Amino acid sequence: MKQKLEPIDAWRWRIPRHGGMQVDGLIYSSRAMMRELEEDPCLDQVANVAHLPGILRASLAMPDIHWGYGFPIGGVAAMDAEAGVVSPGGVGYDINCGVRLVRSSVAAQEFSPHLEAVVQRLFATIPTGVGAGRRDLRLGQKELEKVLEKGAAWAVEEGMGWQRDLEHLEEGGRLPGADPERVSAKAYERGRAQLGTLGSGNHFAEIQYVSEIFDPEAARAFGLFAGQVVVMVHSGSRGLGHQVCTDHLKVMVKAAQRYGIQLPDRQLCCAPISSAEGRSYLAAMAAAANYAFANRQVMTHWVRESFSRVLGRPAEELGLDVVYDVCHNIAKFETFELEGKKVRACVHRKGATRAYPPGHPETPAAYRQVGQPVLIPGDMGRYSYVLKGTEQAYRESFGSCCHGAGRRLSRHQAKRDARGRSLLAELKAKGVVVMAAGMATVAEEMPEAYKDVAEVVEVVARAGLAGKVAQLRPIGVVKG
């Protein structure tokens, strides 16, 4: 059904509470973007999420919203930790899909002669594509359990990272409450050889340069300067996380019936947070999230190794430090103030990024004066952004912001539109060197398949959910 939309201001739109909705829907969008969205069924998903028991304030949607499983991608829903539910659809199949940004002390002009060699080295070092893995990092059961418990710290302990990396990761690179025993044997098998791998689809390792600085103070705090070479890594929990979601969806369908939860869409299957099913999912999800943190940490090690090998200088000398690492698909317990009271909530962010403000104790100490770094990847032909969290986001959107550009075209449509084109040559003409496991992925991920991330970022900036810090332009891309 077409949802009734009421403009609140130039950047906010309301779906008024109706039927079984517990709260309103709230969509962040410009008028131009809303013209494309108003007939989209993802708005029905925003309204459907508003039916869930214990949902707080509103069912939120960021400007990169598009259709997802149950919840829209770009959706945020905070559930009362005592009276609410947890839903695997509110996290998604790729648990803790997220983005990490690594800076360097190298200028783009100095790096240019080495670009193709570094891209080739990254492509040879980081396995890409469906089911890809490294033979030299195939873990046994006990070692994989440690990964699920410790997250990124496991990789650092194994010599694949620096201790200070952990200070610049969301949750320190380890979600509490993980229980490896809640992860199935099939999930273990799928994750055994996939640590340190990109996977397929929209995942990437991208060499970029800082093309524009909007906020000099925040940029200095984040260690960014104009013309600087940086690396953005986008990946998640791979087959292990996908299997955790699959396993628990089956349980949640029955649980929703058992607890008498009325759902407008079966894909919203859920269970009370306090229930055995809810606790079991959260423990397995946290374990998968920790696998994803470790995955990005291991790939950071491969990035440092590749740069060092090609440029002939140690990674420390090249200044290859982690700026930040953010989750995109997660459910986490966080505390906010609602109507003058402190409320503990289970915040579902599905295709959304945490955006904590200056002064918050969970914002890393090095960034506490300016706010948490918020990393927003775009497409491989245009640009990505670094933003900073704000007090407005903390008050209004449960400390949440957009997570990327958002798809405009389905994968099928993108491949159809790419027929007869030489996408690699087109990107090379723009100064972007691309290596990929297959051309199908390049076609699915061509720039036109995505919204212009600059428009998405403008919405969240004008709405006050984040402040613009820097724009990053791609020069080398490794795709799954």
Tokens of 416: 């159809």
Instruction: Give SS3 for 104.
Output: strand
Instruction: Residue 159: name the closest of 32, 315, 25 by CA.
Output: 315
Q: What is the pTM of this model?
A: 0.96
Instruction: Residue 246: name the closest of 199, 295, 281, 200 by CA.
Output: 281
- Per-residue exposure over 178-203, b if at least 16 CB sit within 10 Å of its own CB, e if not: bebebbeeebbebbbbbbbbbbbbbb
Taking the C-alpha atoms of residue 321 and residue 230, their distance in angstroms, rounded to an integer, is: 10
Taking the C-alpha atoms of residue 385 and residue 81, their distance in angstroms, rounded to an integer, is: 33
Contact in structure between 450 and 422 (CB atoms under 8 Å): no
Handedness of CA 386, 390, 396, 398 (dihedral sign): positive
Dihedral class, residue 419 (left if φ above 0, else alpha if ψ from -120 to 50, else beta): beta
**Residue 415, CA distances (Å) to 378, 411, 448, 451 in order:** 19, 6, 11, 16
How much is the pLDDT for 345?
A: 98
Long-range pairs, 182-186, Cβ under 8 A, ≥24: 182/280, 182/281, 182/283, 182/284, 182/287, 183/148, 183/240, 183/244, 183/284, 183/287, 183/288, 184/243, 184/244, 184/247, 186/243, 186/247
- Rg (C-alpha) for the chain, rounded Å, is 21
How much is the pLDDT for 10?
A: 97
Per the DSSP assignment, residues forming a β-bridge with 356 are: none
Active site residue 403: yes
- The active-site residue, picked from 66, 203, 248, 403, is 403
Tokens of 444: 């699915």
How much is the pLDDT for 442?
A: 85
Contact in structure between 379 and 445 (CB atoms under 8 Å): yes
Handedness of CA 207, 209, 214, 220 (dihedral sign): positive
Residue ranges in the chain whose pLDDT is less than 50: none
Instruction: Residue 432: name the closest of 166, 208, 201 by CA.
Output: 208
Strands (E), 132-290: 204-213, 228-235, 271-272
How much is the pLDDT for 108?
A: 97
**Residue 380, CA distances (Å) to 38, 56, 191 in order:** 27, 36, 27
Taking the C-alpha atoms of residue 457 and residue 151, their distance in angstroms, rounded to an integer, is: 30
Instruction: Residue 187: name the closest of 290, 46, 339 by CA.
Output: 290
How much is the pLDDT for 130?
A: 67
How much is the pLDDT for 477?
A: 95
The helix-helix angle for 238-258 and 276-311 (nearest 10°) equals: 170
